[in-house]
A and B are shown apart, each in its own frame.
Chain A
Amino acid sequence: GEDVEQSLFLSVREGDSSVINCTYTDSSSTYLYWYKQEPGAGLQLLTYIFSNMDMKQDQRLTVLLNKKDKHLSLRIADTQTGDSAIYFCAEMKGNQFYFGTGTSLTVIP
């Protein structure tokens, strides 16, 4: 099938690290994306990784890609209350984007 899978919910304490996981479907996907949706707002592109990379770091965000297992993760260091949002992973296959259902991250003060 075309399912990109994510856990629906994650809760962490402020200051801890958050790790959001995603499994995708097609090893030939060229780009993999992480989007953030804050309350009442549209989706915001956080970061993306090209499929020939294993890791990408951008400030507090670290993306890890395991192509063999078709597993993508997003680590947020020193999680803040402002990081509370829904996080979507997505894969690009050919001309189409396939999104996961999103992981709702709740940061507990």
Chain B
Amino acid sequence: GAGVSQSPSNKVTEKGKDVELRCDPISGHTALYWYRQRLGQGLEFLIYFQGNSAPDKSGLPSDRFSAERTGESVSTLTIQRTQQEDSAVYLCASSFTSGVTDTQYFGPGTRLTVL
């Protein structure tokens, strides 16, 4: 079956522009996570959706970052007025529930480069 997919795989943008990253989770997975990995650093949690509950936005680094999810399907992560420090790989993961032992399935990531 299909895994988690993300698009685009690579995105190069100019400083100050807005970008939108897309994540398609595995069908039936209620939990969806966004992470960011900058070069040489570990994964950084950004935001988490569980069903219809209000998302946990505690990891968003600034108000330029926002994310939406329609029901239990596609999610988009939007970065407004991009800065060079936003350059990173953005990873999406989904799991069946948000249980602590539930396996998170990761997409391949979107590599964002801000010039």
Contacts and interface: CB of A to CB of B under 8 A. Distances in A.
Contact of A42 (B10, B59, B103, B109): B59
Given A45-B41, A96-B109, A96-B111, A37 B104 contact: yes
A96 B33 CA distance: 17
A99 interface: yes
Nearest to B45: A42
Nearest to A41: B45
Interface of B, helix, strand, loop or mixed by DSSP:
strand
A44 interface: yes
Given A45-B42, A95-B10, A97-B89, A2 B100 contact: no
Interface residues of A, number: 22
A108 interface: no
A96 B105 CA distance: 15
Given A95-B111, A96-B109, A97-B37, A43 B43 contact: yes
A42 B108 contact: no
Query: Which interface class (under 10, 10 to 19, 20 to 34, 35 or more) fits B?
Result: 20 to 34
Nearest to A3: B3
Contacts of B41: 45
B53 interface: no
A75 B59 CA distance: 30
A97 B109 contact: yes
Interface of B: 9-10, 33, 35, 37, 41-45, 59, 89, 91, 93, 100-101, 103-106, 108-109, 111
Shortest 10 CB-CB distances between A and B: which pairs? A45-B42, A42-B45, A39-B100, A99-B106, A43-B43, A95-B111, A96-B108, A101-B103, A102-B103, A104-B101
Interface of A: 2, 8, 35, 37, 39-45, 86, 88, 90, 95-99, 101-102, 104
30 contacts: A8-B103, A35-B42, A35-B43, A37-B104, A39-B100, A42-B35, A42-B44, A42-B45, A42-B59, A43-B42, A44-B42, A44-B43, A86-B103, A86-B104, A88-B104, A95-B10, A95-B111, A96-B9, A96-B89, A96-B109, A97-B91, A97-B106, A97-B108, A97-B109, A98-B106, A99-B91, A99-B93, A99-B106, A101-B103, A104-B101
